[in-house]
């Protein structure tokens, strides 16, 4: 009889501990995204305010603590997304996904390379361009594909293009980077 009481007590305490942990984990699971979102907003706003008050502060911080700005951008990549396109031009007739911003533009040997980033999920962004390029009459060829990156070549007449989609996962959302290169 004593063994039953002891085992009953141990099982009861174990159930109580598990129940307590489960409710705390549920609480953390529900509130963690909000905490992360608030933390990212605070860091993003702090960096923007410092840049307004002290132009060139990023460069000064980078010289004092090399890699700090890059580490923050890697941790919270959406803070490095510009609000509007940088200079350059889009390659015609490629349409633009509404959530993408031009972040880089180069010309090398009369061939353009344009990089876009946006708060867009990887697969829907890739699917958008596949559909649009097919509608424009381009022939598609898959060069490589993985869960994190896809590369396609599109050809129509003399125009040859390469699209590279790269997934940039973050804690609370997904960012997609797309590079369009004239071949």
- Check whether 21 has a pLDDT greater than 80: no
Name the strand (E) or helix (H) holding 153: strand 149-156
pLDDT digits (tens, 9 = 90+) for 132-162: 999 999 999 999 999 999 999 999 999 999 9
Q: What is the pLDDT of residue 107?
A: 95
Query: Which CATH entry fits the domain spanning 82-182: 1.10.3720.10, 3.40.50.720, 3.30.530.20, 3.40.50.300?
Result: 3.30.530.20
For residue 11, what are its two tokens?
Answer: 């099982």
Q: Does the pLDDT value for residue 47 go beyond 70?
A: no
Q: Where are the domains of the chain?
A: 2-73, 82-182
- On whether the CB atoms of residues 119 and 81 are closer than 8 A, the answer is yes
- Determine the average pLDDT of the residues in 90-96: 92
Q: What per-residue confidence (pLDDT) applies to 136?
A: 95
Instruction: Give residue 116's region: left, alpha or beta (phi > 0; psi -120 to 50).
Output: beta
152: left (phi over 0), alpha (psi -120 to 50) or beta: beta
Tens-digit pLDDT profile for residues 54-79:
666 556 666 655 665 555 555 544 45
What φ, ψ does residue 19 adopt, rounded to 5°? Answer: -65, -45
Q: What's the pTM?
A: 0.58
Tokens of 5: 């009481």
């Amino acid at each position: 009889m004593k063994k039953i009481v002891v085992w009953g007590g141990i099982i009861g305490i174990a159930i109580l501990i598990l129940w307590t942990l489960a409710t705390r984990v549920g609480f953390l699971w529900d509130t963690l995204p909000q905490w992360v979102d608030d933390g990212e907003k605070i860091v993003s706003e702090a960096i923007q305010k410092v840049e307004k008050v002290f132009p060139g502060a990023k460069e000064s911080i980078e010289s004092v603590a090399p890699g700090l700005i890059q580490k923050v951008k890697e941790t919270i990549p959406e803070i490095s997304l510009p609000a509007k396109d940088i200079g350059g031009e889009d390659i015609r007739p490629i349409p633009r996904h509404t959530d993408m911003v031009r972040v880089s533009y180069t010309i090398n040997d009369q061939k353009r390379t344009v990089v876009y980033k946006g708060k867009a999920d990887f697969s829907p962004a890739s699917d958008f361009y596949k559909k649009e390029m097919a509608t424009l009459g381009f022939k598609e060829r898959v060069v490589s594909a993985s869960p994190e990156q896809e590369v396609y070549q599109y050809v129509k007449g003399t125009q040859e293009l390469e699209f590279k989609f790269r997934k940039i996962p973050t804690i609370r959302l997904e960012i997609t980077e797309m590079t369009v290169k004239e071949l």
